[in-house]
Amino acid sequence: MPRRRLAAALLAGIATLLPTFIALPAAAELLVLKSRWLFDGASSSLSSPGLVVVDGNRIIGVGPGAAIPPGARTIDLGEATLCPGFMDAHTHLCHERTEDWKQDELDQFKKLIPQESLEASVFTRKTLMAGFTTCRDLGANDLVDVALRNAINKGVIVGPRMLVPDAIRRAVRLNDKFGADVIKTCATGGVLSLTDAVDTPQLTQAELDALVDEAHALGKKTAAHAHGAEGAKRAIRAGIDSIEHGSFLDDEALRLMKEHGTVLIPTLMAHQGVKEMMAANTTMPQAVRQKAEAAGAALSQTMRRAIDMGVLIGLGTDAGVYQHGRNPEEF
Ligand SMILES: [Zn+2]
């Protein structure tokens, strides 16, 4: 099957299945999901027929040889291909950038928290329907991400399994107390912010050492937003688990990542989203445009070198910088 058609089939399979999974109450009947093909993620080929046996909210059998319990109801999905849900390691499920940069900035201060939460529940649904069943949320205000995660876990709203962080050095323990799963920090400036340079470091080596040490002591993974090489290197030396974006990483940074096993999450869709925003957006300041262009141009070079050097690469899309539900375009 041509690759594009395969991808479309995989996504269609998931999209068909998800509402079924979500609607299952804890003590639901036994279900068998049957389709023409199955990709289990462990083998590199498809198997047929695709069978997934579900007991309540647990999958108890997968593959052509899965035992079918007596009395199970079969849902035949025809030609669809079943596959495991995708994971997005870098999303912002609590907001979505629009074509009006100024309004977006204003909303960060003025939008009511309940409104933000209600809108976010639409984004979590769209993301799940796009085939993503697990998302790490790397940046939200007012602990809306924690509330979303809790509401999804309780079955109150529909969405992917969420891992939520937040971050500044002194806040590691506070975030842990409020239930963060991941600690995210900003080791360098950003693209969509107005006043900081995109590639300069924003934390000292000692601060990053303390942050990672504290987070790891609490059993939490860490992620560093880093466009510039110097900030990234400090984070990598501190033992950070992933570098987000990594636009201007130099060879030394990539070598350090390879040595430490640090994962690069390049968020290529963020650049696609920003490109589209620049084309449509009349209020985006010139300073932001210049940063976006520089980071976008550097990242394609960095990606090539990272792949050549064998740096571990994770899939994360920066969803929210573009419209939620378009996550699969990162592939
Ligand atoms: Zn982001």
What per-residue string of b and e applies to 192-227 under the rule 16 or more CB within 10 Å gives b?
beeeeebbebbbeeebbbbbbebbbeeebbbbbbbb
State residue 168's pLDDT score.
52
Give residues whose Cβ lies within 5 Å of ion ligand 1.
318
Average pLDDT over residues 248-262: 97
Task: Name which residue leads in pLDDT, 178 or 295.
Answer: 295
Distance (angstroms) between ligand 1 centre and the Cα of 323 equals 13
Task: Name which residue leads in pLDDT, 3 or 119.
Answer: 119
State residue 12's pLDDT score.
37
pLDDT of 4 above 80: no
Distance (angstroms) between ligand 1 centre and the Cα of 91 equals 6
CA 22 distance to own-chain centroid:
20
Average pLDDT over residues 310-326: 95
pLDDT band at 287 (very low <50, low <70, confident <90, very high): confident
Average pLDDT over residues 252-268: 97
pLDDT of 252 above 90: yes
What backbone torsions phi and psi does residue 24 show, to the nearest 5 degrees?
Answer: -75, 120
Length of the chain: 331
State residue 174's pLDDT score.
75
Domains assigned to the chain:
3-82 (2.30.40), 86-330 (3.20.20.140)
Distance (angstroms) between ligand 1 centre and the Cα of 297 equals 18
Q: Could you read off the pLDDT of 144-185 as tens digits, one per residue?
A: 988 999 999 989 999 999 988 654 545 777 777 778 888 888
Q: How far is Cα 99 from Cα 277, in angstroms, rounded to an integer?
A: 6
Q: Could you read off the pLDDT of 16-46 as tens digits, one per residue?
A: 444 434 444 445 689 999 999 999 988 899 9
Task: Name which residue leads in pLDDT, 127 or 142.
Answer: 127
Distance (angstroms) between ligand 1 centre and the Cα of 292 equals 13
Within 8 A by CB and 6+ apart from 280, the residues are: 99
75 to each of 51, 61, 68, how far by Cα in Å? Answer: 10, 15, 13
Distance (angstroms) between ligand 1 centre and the Cα of 139 equals 7
In whole numbers, what is the pLDDT of the chain averaged over residues? 86
Give percent above pLDDT 70 in the chain: 90
Distance (angstroms) between ligand 1 centre and the Cα of 52 equals 34
223 has which bridge partners? 184, 242
Distance (angstroms) between ligand 1 centre and the Cα of 284 equals 18
Q: Could you read off the pLDDT of 39-95 as tens digits, one per residue?
A: 998 889 999 999 999 998 889 999 999 999 999 999 999 999 999 999 998 999 999
Task: Name which residue leads in pLDDT, 198 or 83.
Answer: 83
18 to each of 33, 74, 94, 302, how far by Cα in Å? Answer: 11, 15, 21, 36
What per-residue string of b and e applies to 24-59 under the rule 16 or more CB within 10 Å gives b?
beeeeebbbbbbbbbbeeeeeebbeebbbbbbeeee
pLDDT band at 139 (very low <50, low <70, confident <90, very high): confident
How many other C-beta atoms lie within 10 A of the C-beta of residue 112? 9
State residue 26's pLDDT score.
47
Structure tokens at 267: 């968020």
Distance (angstroms) between ligand 1 centre and the Cα of 84 equals 24
Q: Among candidates 300, 292, 235, which has minimal Cα distance to 268?
A: 300
Collapsed DSSP state (helix, strand, coil) of residue 51: strand
State residue 25's pLDDT score.
45
Structure tokens at 248: 């201007």
Distance (angstroms) between ligand 1 centre and the Cα of 38 equals 32
Q: How far is Cα 186 from Cα 208, in angstroms, rounded to an integer?
A: 10
Q: Is the backbone of residue 281 left (phi > 0), alpha (psi -120 to 50) or beta?
A: beta
Q: For the chain, state the CA radius of gyration.
A: 21
Q: How far is Cα 131 from Cα 159, in angstroms, rounded to an integer?
A: 10
pLDDT of 122 above 50: yes
Average pLDDT over residues 312-325: 95
